[in-house]
A and B are shown apart, each in its own frame.
Chain A
Amino acid sequence: MAIPIAYNLRNLVVRKTTTLMTALGIALTVAMLLAILALVNGLRVTLTASGDPLRIVVVRQGSDSELVSNFVRTQFQDIKFKPGIATGSDGQPLASLEMVTIINLSRENDSDVNVNVRALLGVGRELRPNVHIVSGRWYQPGQREVVVGRMLAQQHEDAHLGKNIRFGRGEWRIVGVMDGGGGSTDSEIWADLNQVSSDMQRVEILSSVTLKAVDAVAAKALINDISNDQRLDLSAVSEQEYYARQTSSADPIKFIGIFVAIIMAVGSSFAAMNTMYAAVARRSREIGTLRVLGFSRGSILLSFWMEAVLLSLLGGLLGCLLALPLNGLTTQVGANFATMAFAFHVTPEIMAVGLVFALVLGSLGGLFPARMASRKEILTALREV
């Protein structure tokens, strides 16, 4: 027969200081893990928000990002008129030749922020209708003017509307702030292609082309067509997939975070073990009494183990509570050399992972003390003070 769970619950309540301290230790470990998972998840959500399945990013074969890609203008002519590309308002194909580069905005406190500068023509804006101006206006072609992403303007005091930033051969005026709907655009600077490319002396060598396909079938056909054409030496992926790949830049952070969480878990499972051993030692006589009443060794083992599991469950729940305020908090992380601002994203799935983690940790830590409790001889147990 099993010992009722109420017995364990009451025991946890009676020793509330110890219970709470042990649970808090577990909670911190869980919160740590959740913070890292939420960070990586937030990055993923932000990057996938940037992606549209109908938009296709074309880069040089072998380049895994726009930044390291080289695109020559003549290559653009070769793909611009491929069938399946949607037509813009002016009757021209929606194909945008772009240049992406990084500039460094130094902050007051001396830590540098690297920002993506995307130089494009009007067609580039037309095929991204989700990006719109929230304050100010768009840059004028042929002017030394730029528009900054919403997040960038928020996070960086030098990137406010009306200020000047310096790159290339001189100063550029910030004339607008744009909203890209939570995607990576929010951390970018946009400017006129011809102006930037001549300023950086890269008139011929640009970075990438973004296309808009008519429909999903055409998108697939275009991707195959461009990637398989040996003469072009280009590689095309849907924008969604492109950004999903960029998420891998957070892999080192994820790896370090999980490593830290596991080491902390070892530490807090030792602490849980300690608490449970103390509980077993203090309740020696109780255990003897339970045995006299006819509870088997097995049910005592189960009971004490359950108590450890309950303890860690409490810790896991506390950990989730601790991590919850992180949700929506903005932070920045380097994604492929450029800093990107995004929000922590705590989801139910992540919290479930945290709870399972706590339960595993607690049940491992509770196993040995429970075994000790079940092995006590009735007489010695009753005699212990």
Chain B
Amino acid sequence: MRYLPLILKNCWRNRRRTILTIASIGVSMCLLGVMVSMYHAFYMGAPAPDQAVRLVVRNRISITQPVPLSYRQRLQQFPGVQVVMVANWFGGVYKDARDPKNQFARFAIDPEKLFQIYGEYRIPEDQKQAFLRERTACVIGRDVADSLHLKVGDRLPIKGDIFPGDFEFTIRGIFDSPSASQVMYFNREYVEQSMSERRRGFVGLYYMRIDDPAHSGRIAEAIDSEYHNAPYQTKTENEQAFVVGFLALLGDVKMFLFAISAAVMFTILLVSANTMAMSVRERVREIGVLKTLGFTNGAILGLILGEACAISVAGGLLGYLISTFLMQVVAKSPVGGFLPAMPLIEIPVAAACIAIAAAIGLISSLVPAAGASRLSIVEALRSTD
């Protein structure tokens, strides 16, 4: 520890190189940070309090297959279930679908249940009442309103594809949500009217609010086993698992994250190893002098390893900071709606980033450091380079 000032001095003597190395590691580490935060949010993160009490019931075969409307009554009676809401993925096209701004999620739902299920949505009471009163009313998320410059009272024409027909909605409310809100909700009955007799009586999904997140596993199991022998089997999962399942439709997300992370880590390893090799090579004579002064081989090893760690941890920190900023951008983008809400600073993610950086620093400097510490004094002093 008493060598710490010496290590820091050594880091700082070739400023340009140190800064370039830190920047290089930082940029790569920020990618790694994004990957780790996404992985954490998808597969390990505890769901946000509002999300943890939401369960989604879908057809076991696929989310594109319907579930009978008749299940609603029974679902409400399961102990622990407080509210059950029907949600149909509406699809549809708004103006020109090729413009990504026009692609927001649209759900046909039970208006009176919406704000009970999504307790975190904030909407003025008068707007909410107006939405409940009118059959052709809709509410949209703040993000949709902002990107399309829509306001309360505007008309929103949607051409249906899954539910054929031309629908015209009136915006009666705009709600705020802590996560991205590229979404529109409207009354299921408006759509139901236009459907053929045969298709009525089926719904896409059930959203449920339960009393305690700790009961979610038990409730999900109870529901799925109830319908195990029914013609329409169900799959019940919490909202987070449902979202991850939805993302799986895009491809093997896990493998994608792993592949990118591995490539990034290996690149950082190369960059850091290269820097350390360069700085050791320049200092061979100096190492001879240090040894003459009585520094042991171990101390020299420690000095060089410490220097590498200091630089890569600095890079790791910088990278993590950039990644939190990037994650905010990601969360606000249209994809963000699919992501679970993420707090600004996630301690495990930060710890993982810095630990990875330190480990990379250590590994990368092992070879040059070992070489330097084993150098004999005479040889080192004789070196002219």
Contacts and interface: CB of A to CB of B under 8 A. Distances in A.
Contacts of A246: none
Interface in A44-70: 60, 62-64, 67-70
Contacts of B16: 277
Given A253-B251, A263-B31, A274-B24, 8 more contacts: A18-B277, A101-B64, A200-B65, A205-B198, A252-B335, A267-B271, A270-B27, A332-B251
Contacts of B335: 252
A19 to B, nearest CB: 10
A31 B263 contact: yes
Contacts of B266: 28
Contacts of A263: 27-28, 30-31
A18 B278 contact: yes
Interface stretch (B157-165, B177-185, B351-359): B157-165
B28 to A, nearest CB: 4
B248 A62 contact: no
B264 A278 contact: no
A267 B252 contact: no
A206 B327 CA distance: 42
Given A17-B277, A21-B273, A102-B64, A334 B31 contact: no
A32 B267 CA distance: 11
User: Which has the most chain A C-beta neighbours within 10 Å: B62, B159, B160?
Assistant: B62
Interface in A223-257: 252-253
Contact of B17 (A111, A112, A277): A277
Interface in A93-140: 101-104, 111-112, 114
Contacts of B274: 18, 21-22, 25, 271, 274-275
A68 B267 contact: no
Contacts of A252: 250, 335
B293 to A, nearest CB: 22
B249 interface: yes
Contact of A67 (B64, B251, B263, B264): B64
A268 B250 contact: no
B257 to A, nearest CB: 10
B378 interface: no
A264 B267 contact: yes
Contact of B260 (A21, A32, A205): A32
Interface in B1-58: 16-17, 20-21, 23-25, 27-28, 30-31
Nearest to B59: A104
